[in-house]
Structure 1
Amino acid sequence: MRHTRWNAGGSRDIATVFPFPMAAAVSLFLAFASSPAAAQETREFPTQTGTVLVETLASGLEHPWAVEAMPDGALIVTERPGRLRILRDGKLSAAIKGVPTAAAHGQGGLLDVALDRQFATNRTLYLTLSVRGDGGYGTVLVRAALSQDEQSLTEVKEIFRMNKFTRKGQHFGSRIAIDKDGSLFFGIGDRGEGERAQDSRDHAGSILHINADGSIPASNPYRGGTGGLAEIWSIGHRNPQGITFDPEGGKLLTVEHGARGGDEVNNPQPGKNYGWPVITFGKDYSGVEIGEGTAKEGLEQPLFYWDPSIAPGAIAVYRGSMFPEWNGDLLIAALKYQLLARLDRDETGAVTNEERLFDGEFGRIRDVIVASDGALIMVTDEEDGAVLRVSKAPTQ
């Protein structure tokens, strides 16, 4: 589950006494301030429910794609070119050794990181990444152990590889959600070939479900091999880049990119078909209609959709103490308008309102998680990417 512990405190002031000429002092200060983990000024933003603070915990990362909280409050972050790093006490580690080589091709590279539910004792984590192989590029999922000194990965093992590679550079997916039994749910996009999402014997355009050792869970709809590949949970997804479980009730939720419109929030059910590209609320980038409309018998409807597209990168469900007024709301990281969307939900789970936060203020927001203290942690997918913490402003 993507809602793990975060015990960070507030920002720290920098007080330094310089016993040498001012020019040298200024030069040293500027060098420190531009370093990858240098703290920056906390900014205030009004929201519909009060003022929030956004603190930059680290900057200078190269296209960070995912962030996860470790048991001691440190953060582990992926960078799409292939680096895995740890942010602790305001300092970024060197790249962790032993990370499998990612193919930074198009939208691909090192993608998600998720910590095993027993990480505190077994040090196990999971990564998704794009790799090069027969036919081009595709998505794989690996399991590994983080060494006690946090400098390397050991026991690295590939536990899933998609079955059809292509030279196209888009729609690799792929976030990971860990169920209460330790099994893994993750998504792979249609790889830019929409018709593949309707083929239950093709991993592209699917939500997939495997055990932590790569075996097939008993709950999978095609486990016996009849009707589809045993790993597939649901089909008809264009590019699901966000996936999470609601900590209250355990509902699986995904968010996926549409084309020019038609981004969707779904609750994938086993064996169901979510429509792409037969039905969609979006159009092709050229303006041409796609498929057969917005509904068809036997195909599922989204819980919520956007038109025009906001290009969603991740989804989280807010269950925390810092913002009780957000309890149960969906939080969506968005790339196109560089914002965080908060979707109010009623007691039935239906979306009743959307609030857009930080529009254009920080760049492309790629990931968002809820920390144990109720704050939000986000990363921005930029050449000079950042790790951000969102907290409630103190009341006067």
Structure 2
Amino acid sequence: MRLLATSLLASLVLAACGSAADQTQAVTSDTKVKLTPVVTETEFPWGMAFMPNGDLLFTEKENGLKRLPAGETTPVAVPGLPPAYTERQAGYLGLTLDPDFATSRLVYVAYSKGTPDANGTAIVHGRLSDDGNALEDVTEIFVADPRDTALHFGSRLQFGGDGTLYATIGDGFVYMDLAQDPKKTHGSVIRINKDGSIPADNPFADGAVGNPAVWSYGHRNEQGLYYDAETDTLYETEHGPKGGDELNIIRKGANYGWPEITYGVDYDGTIITDKTEAEGMEQPETYWVPSIAPAGLTKLTSDVYPGWKGDLFAGGMNGPAGLNLVRIDMENGKVVGRENLFQGEYPIRDVVQGPDGHLYIATKNFDGIFRVDLADGN
């Protein structure tokens, strides 16, 4: 597996859509980085989470949970997950660790459950055995509303500072209109307790006008989610159609507009809506035209890369501007610029920060998992 270096010259095209969100500027930095292979024996890695001891847990779309012992290069299978529906975009998806993992050893995993005629995003948790080689006492804690499509499952997981679990649920593609119905989980971010019960302060907890689990709605296919404990902010990225990928700050009970407003068009070029803004609907912090198919999202909290601490990083999987790692330059909680790293090299499915302070990326298909290192000359 070759090592890659980039001069970090940014290149992005933004649509002139008349909103403040489209004024994001391309930026460059003097920091140069390269990719160092960490795992080469992996197929369709989807989500990653580091254990306190430095071991890396990750899911593979069709093969379930794997563990890479710290300092090694060959992962081991971790059996115990229930069977998944694995056609097209379906399979084993996002994962996260219990905030009290050191004591509970609980791992939370999202996956596609069901059949071609009736399937949806489900969440389970299980105890990782003391030797790390099995998931035990696996319990289902959430199942989204069923669909009959193998597209748009969402499925990133993040714990908030209060110990509640957030999860992204995709719109099911052909069911995009239901993203505007808070009584449905299609196209939503849900919030549940560790055991799957509903927090009393959820916006629709009483079920009168919305699904009790729904925290926000009007989303498309959200494959990036990050909780910033320092600012108590939940960030999310989602795929637009052809253009209009978004970075959002997720707020309680808010409507993010899909498909009533969007900065993108349908895949055949037809207009989904002529509106990019509407009263009562949130605007993105930044958006991408053309698309990058954003997947994975994290904030750099270390000093490993000069000048980048506090910035967000998102993977790009596809689209005219995809196949890159995007540095989202943040100042005082606002997006002030974007820089494309490794442009055109690999489709990136996930990005996380490791306990060593380095960024790690998982590629979309068969390439592997890499550590982002400083290149020679820094």
- TM-score with structure 1 length normalisation? 0.86
TM-score of the pair, normalised by structure 2? 0.90
Structure 1 CA distance for aligned equivalents of residues 305 and 229 of structure 2: 16
- C-alpha distance 298-379 of structure 1, shift in aligned 2 (>3 A): same
The 3-state SS of whatever aligns with 2:68 is strand
1:312 to 294, 319, 328: 294
Q: Does the aligned pair in 1 maintain the 2:40–2:73 contact within 8 Å?
A: no
Q: Which whole-Å deviations, capped at 9, do the CAs of 1:165-223 have from their partners, x for residues lacking one?
A: 22211100110011122210011111012101001111110000000000111221011
Cα RMSD, aligned residues only: 1.6
Structure 1 residue 131: deviation in Å? 1.2
Give 1:181's match in structure 2, choosing from 162, 165, 185.
162
CA shift digits 1:62-107 (9 cap, x unpaired): 1000111111111111100032111122233332111111111210
2:338 equivalent to 1:338: no
The 5 Å alignment of 1:1-396 reads 40=1, 42-47=3-8, 48-88=29-69, 89-133=71-115, 135-163=117-145, 165-192=146-173, 193-336=175-318, 337-347=322-332, 349-361=333-345, 363-382=346-365, 384-393=366-375
Q: Which residue of 2 aligns with 1:35?
A: none
| Aligned 8 A contact 2:171 2:179 in 1 | yes
The equivalent of 1:16 in structure 2 is none
Once the two structures are TM-superposed, the CA of residue 42 in structure 1 deviates from its matched residue by: 4.1
Please tell me the residue identity of whatever aligns with 1:160: F
CA–CA distance in structure 2, aligned partners of residues 77 and 260 of structure 1: 29
Q: How many residues align?
A: 353
Superposed CA deviations along residues 46-69 of structure 1, whole A, max 9, x for unmatched, are: 332322132101113110001111
Deviation for aligned residue 1:232:
0.2
Moved over 4 A (4+): none
Percent identity, please: 39
Distance 2:284 2:299 in 1: 17
Kept in 1, the 8 Å contact 2:50–2:57? The answer is yes
Aligned residues of 1:130 and 1:139 also touching (Cα < 8 A): yes
The Cα offsets for residues 347-394 of structure 1, whole Å up to 9 and x where unpaired, read as: 2x2222111011122x21000011233210110011x23010012236
Bigger mean CA offset, 200-209 vs 219-228: 219-228
**Which one is further off, 153-162 or 43-52?**
43-52
Q: Do 2:4 and 2:35's aligned partners in 1 also have CA atoms closer than 8 Å?
A: yes
In 1, Cα distance between equivalents of 2:118 and 2:128: 30
Q: Compare CA radii of gyration and give the structure with the larger one.
A: 1
Q: CA–CA distance in 2 between the matches of 1:145 and 1:109?
A: 21
The answer to whether the Cα contact below 8 Å between 1:330 and 1:343 also exists between their aligned partners in 2 is yes
Deviation at 1:134, TM superposition (A): 8.9
AA aligned opposite 1:378: I
Residues 116 and 149 in structure 2, CA contact (< 8 A), matched pair in contact too: no
What SS does structure 1 have at the residue aligned with 2:40?
strand
SS at match of 1:197: helix
| Matched AA of 2:263 | F
Preserved CA contact (<8 Å) 1:320 1:372? no
Contact kept, 8 Å, 2:314 with 2:327, in 1: the verdict is yes
Alpha-carbon shift at residue 298 of structure 1 (Å): 1.2
Residue type at the aligned position of 2:205: R
CA distance in 1, matches of 2:66, 2:326: 27
Is the 2:240–2:264 Cα contact (8 Å) retained in structure 1?
yes
Between 1 and 2, higher relative CO (CA 8 Å, sep ≥ 6) is seen in 2
C-alpha separation in 1, matches of 2:172 and 2:209? 22
Distance in 1, Cα, partners of 2:31 & 2:248: 29
Pair 393,134 (structure 1): closer, same or farther in 2 beyond 3 Å: closer
2: CA distance, partners of 1:201 / 1:212: 22
**Does the residue aligned with 1:379 lie in a helix, a strand or coil?**
strand
